[in-house]
Structure 1
Amino acid sequence: MVVEIRRRLAEALAPVELEVVDEGHKHVGHANEGKGHYHVRVVSPAFAGVLPLQRHRMVHAALDGLMEQGIHALSIDAKAP
Structure 2
Amino acid sequence: MTDLATAPLGEIIAARLTAALAPSHLEVINDSHHHAGHMGDDGTGESHWTVMVESPAFSGVSRVQRQRLINNALADLLATRIHALAIKARAPGE
Asked if 1:71 is matched to 2:93, the reply is no
Q: Give CA-to-partner distance per residue, 1:14-67, whole Å, 9 cap, x none.
A: 000000001000001201336410000000000000000000000000112011
TM-score (norm 2): 0.82
Q: Is the 8 A contact 1:17 1:44 kept in 2?
A: yes
Q: Identity of aligned pairs, percent? A: 47
Pair 1:40 & 2:51 matched: yes
Q: TM-score, normalization: structure 1?
A: 0.95
Higher RCO, 1 vs 2 (CA within 8 Å, ≥6 residues apart):
1
Distance 1:48 1:16 in 2: 12
- Output the CA distance in 2 between the equivalents of 1:54 and 1:60: 10
Cα RMSD for the two superposed structures: 1.1
Quote the Cα distance in structure 2 between the aligned partners of 1:79 and 1:23.
Answer: 20
Match of 2:27 in 1: 19
- After TM superposition, what 4+ stretches of structure 1 lie above 3 angstroms from structure 2? none
Mind listing any 5+ residue stretches in structure 2 that lack a counterpart? 1-8
Give the count of matched residue pairs.
81
- Give 1 or 2 for the bigger CA radius of gyration: 2
Unaligned runs of 5+ in 1: none
